[in-house]
Amino acid sequence: MRLIRVLQGVGPALGSALLMTMDPQRWTVLDERAVKSINAIGYAEVPQDSQDRRTWLPYLRACLDVQTRTGAPLRDVDRALYAAKGNGRVPVV
């Protein structure tokens, strides 16, 4: 993410999408809906501002924890959080 920060006009959402494209087993996409969902399922340590670069690493760590707990691929976790739209009812991953 530090490398992406130096690219003009690239914010955390686009930067995280670029990283995910490079390695979807390692990186997630930072998205407002997914951040709301991760907060709703109990990860209060993840800042709610998806436009703040400081949110991305805690969000990634939370997603990796969900991945470990569920055994689902990281990309499936990411998609399920997005699909839940922040309502706390995350589809089975």
Kindly report the number of other CB atoms within 10 A of residue 42's CB atom: 10
pLDDT at 46: 95
Q: How far is CA 37 from the centre of its chain?
A: 10
Shortest CA distance to 59 belongs to which of 69, 50, 72? 50
Question: Residue-wise pLDDT tens for the chain (93 aa)?
Answer: 566 666 666 677 777 788 888 888 888 988 899 999 999 999 999 999 888 878 888 999 999 999 999 999 999 999 999 999 877 666 655
Shortest CA distance to 62 belongs to which of 49, 84, 52, 47? 47
Interatomic CA distance for residues 65 and 74, integer angstroms: 10
Interatomic CA distance for residues 75 and 80, integer angstroms: 9
pTM beyond 0.85, yes or no: no
